[in-house]
A = this chain, B = another copy of it.
Amino acid sequence: MSVHQLTLGDVLGEHRRGRPLDVAAVDGDVRLTYPELDARVDRLANALAGAGVEKGDRVLWLGQNSFRILELLLASGRLGAILCPANWRQSADELAYVLDDLTPRAVVWEESEAVAEAREGWSGTATWLKSGDEYEEFLAAGADGAPAAPVTEDLPVLALYTAAFDGRPGAALLSHRALIAHSEALLHQRQMENGFTFLACGPMFHVGTNMFVLATFLLGGKNVFTPAYEPKEVCRLIEAEKCTQAFLFGPMIDGLVAANEGGQYDLSSLRFVSHTPEWDAMITVDDSPWCASKMGGYGQTEVGGMLTFLGLGIGGQGYAGRSSTLVTVRILDANGVEVAPGEVGEICARGWSLFSGYHNRPELNAQKAIGGYHHTGDLGRREPDGTLTFIGPKLRMIKSANENIYPAEVERALKTHPSVADAAVIGVPDDRFGQTVKAVVVLKPDAEVSEDAIIEHVRGEIASYKKPRHVAFTAAIPKKGYTPDYDALDAEFGGGAYPGS
């Protein structure tokens, strides 16, 4: 073993020695010090090995938040295996897809009809353990002591399902090294210091909650787990465990303010983002770069969480700030050539926190890593001061007179018009240019704007060749999740002749 290696198992071992009295995990009645967590992880790893889990194998968690996700992650890591905490609220069909795609060797699950149905229909073989007594008996039967499996930091250890690039969700694989590197960058940006306590009240099948659980773990802090966001219980836990931070966004914060009307809970241990006067009065407003920038930046599961931090460019021109100190970012065109500042291209990245590809997608992985840079599938722009702006997903490209035009960029420009409520952009066949840009626009109530005025507005915002040649007005943009349903728009408004089609 090289003297340079560091795995999650090494981190846990260091905390066992360095924090014998410190609490690692709290969950309901469960309260584990680092040595207690370490001993459970050893037994769990040995039990999983006994159930046939080997290096590279997947372990699947189907349930709500639990300290068991952390211990399954660490136990999988000790074996060179991979834990996937998946969204248990999916339909039986979606869960069946996950089982087929991930082919786990072991599944730990919480009571759910959909899970039971997916299990019944699955032809694969795995050890199924119900979280609770069955899991505890399994763990207790494991031998003491760390398993002998040699684990290196480049092995994947966490799998998180994320957006569909080829129409199916993919399990992004994150290595020990990627998780430790991302955690370290977060320790810095968030100024997470000795004694930090994190309340995991967001979903742990999502990178946003996991990244703080892992940074807290790397630091040797305390993670508090609660099954799901429940405002009163979150308030109670913040007070009881003196939480420094919880996984919270706007509406979740409003929920806490309402739940704590009258100030029955002391939330002053929370050092967090300023939100409303009521909220700011309840907590301690934090001035770390992460909190001062209102958690600004750009990220995705495939980069371990955050790729850029607004905290590294507060006051700059781009609202995604600058690259994390452990990555390098380039804005590339379709040929892999860096575009000039001010031009839109694909956000591409290299560095320590990047994922190791999607599970079982060799072709997609090769395509995403072409040229030695991870291609995020998102569009961005480097501003003149060097800061970055996230434009939108690179869902498709229009080619007009040999120029590449990304709908997301034109849509952003359209939406800056004061009368435009929503907009989407498609390419329509054109004899002379191949394609031309067509805007589909939803006006605000009672607004009246001409086609020409819309086109002129866009011309003032971005390069002239990207402006629409045609504008259609409509009542609502059809959507697929958060993004326009381009196929439906093409069908309705005459789109076609896309490059490669």
Residues in chain A within 8 A of chain B (CB atoms): 1-6, 10-11, 13-14, 17-22, 154, 177-178, 180, 183-185, 187-188, 191-194, 218-220, 289, 311-314, 322-323, 325-330, 341, 349-352, 354, 369, 372-374, 382, 384-388
Q: Kindly name the residue among A4, A312, A388 whose own CB sees the greatest number of chain B CB atoms within 10 A.
A: A4
Q: Closest chain B residue to A368 by CB distance? A: B3
Q: Are A4 and B328 in contact (CB-based, < 8 A)?
A: no
Instruction: Find out whether the CB atom of B354 lies under 8 angstroms from the CB atom of A3.
Output: yes
User: Considering the chains assembled together, what is the distance between the CA atoms of A330 and B14 in angstroms?
Assistant: 8
- Pairwise interchain contact B312-A194, C-beta atoms closer than 8 A: yes
Give CA–CA (A1, B354) in the complex, Å.
13
Instruction: State A180–B328 Cα separation when bound (angstroms).
Output: 13
Interface centre among A3, A19, A20, A183, by most chain B C-beta atoms within 10 angstroms, is A3
Q: A220-B312, A220-B322, A322-B220 are in contact. Are A350 and B289 (CB under 8 A)?
A: no
Residue of B with least CB distance to A178: B4
A316 to chain B, nearest CB (A): 9
Q: Looking at the complex, which one of B193, B219, B325 makes contact with A184 (CB distance below 8 Å)? A: B325
Chain B residues with CB under 8 Å of A192's CB are 188
Contacts of A323 in B (CB 8 A): 14, 18
Shortest Cβ distance from residue A173 to the other chain B in the assembled complex, whole angstroms: 12
Complex CA gap A220/B374 in Å reads 23
19 A-B contact pairs sorted by A residue (CB < 8 Å): A3-B351, A4-B178, A4-B350, A6-B326, A6-B351, A14-B323, A14-B327, A17-B330, A18-B322, A18-B386, A18-B387, A18-B388, A20-B384, A20-B386, A21-B386, A184-B185, A219-B325, A220-B312, A220-B325
- Residues of B near A185 (CB, < 8 A) are 184
**Could you tell me the distance between the alpha carbons of A85 and B74 in the complex, rounded to whole angstroms?**
42
Chain B residues lying within 8 Å of A330, measured Cβ to Cβ, are: 17
Contact B3 A350 (CB under 8 A): yes
Q: Which B residues are in CB contact (< 8 Å) with A184?
A: 184-185, 188, 325-326
Chain B residues, CB < 8 A from A352: 4, 6
Residues A4 and B177 in contact in the complex (CB < 8 Å), given A10-B350, A194-B313: yes
- Chain B nearest CB: distance from A181 CB in Å? 8
Residue of B6, B191, B369 near A350 (CB, 8 A) is B6
Question: From residue A128, how far is it (CB to closest CB) to chain B in Å?
Answer: 35
Distance to closest chain B CB from A417 (angstroms) = 31
Known: A6-B352, A14-B328. 18 other contacts (CB 8 A): A1-B350, A3-B369, A3-B374, A4-B178, A4-B354, A5-B350, A6-B327, A6-B328, A6-B350, A10-B328, A10-B350, A10-B351, A17-B341, A18-B386, A19-B322, A20-B386, A21-B385, A194-B312
**Chain B's nearest CB lies how many Å from the CB of A409?**
19
In the assembled complex, the CB of A372 is this many whole angstroms from the nearest CB of chain B, namely 4
Closest B residue by C-beta to A384: B20
A4 touches B188 (CB 8 A): no
Q: With A and B bound together, what is the CA distance between A352 and B183 in angstroms?
A: 14
CB-based contact A328/B386 at 8 Å:
no
9 closest cross-chain pairs (CB), A and B: A1-B372, A18-B386, A188-B188, A14-B328, A10-B328, A3-B374, A187-B188, A18-B322, A6-B351
Cα separation A328 to B369 with both chains bound (whole Å) = 32
A193 touches B289 (CB 8 A): yes
Chain B residues within 8 Å of A177, by CB: 4
Complex contact B311–A193 (CB within 8 A): yes
Q: How far is the CB of A153 from chain B (nearest CB, A)?
A: 9
Q: Is the CB of A2 within 8 A of B325?
A: no
- Can you name the residue of chain B whose Cβ is closest to the Cβ of A180? B326
Q: Find the B residue at minimum CB distance from A310.
A: B194
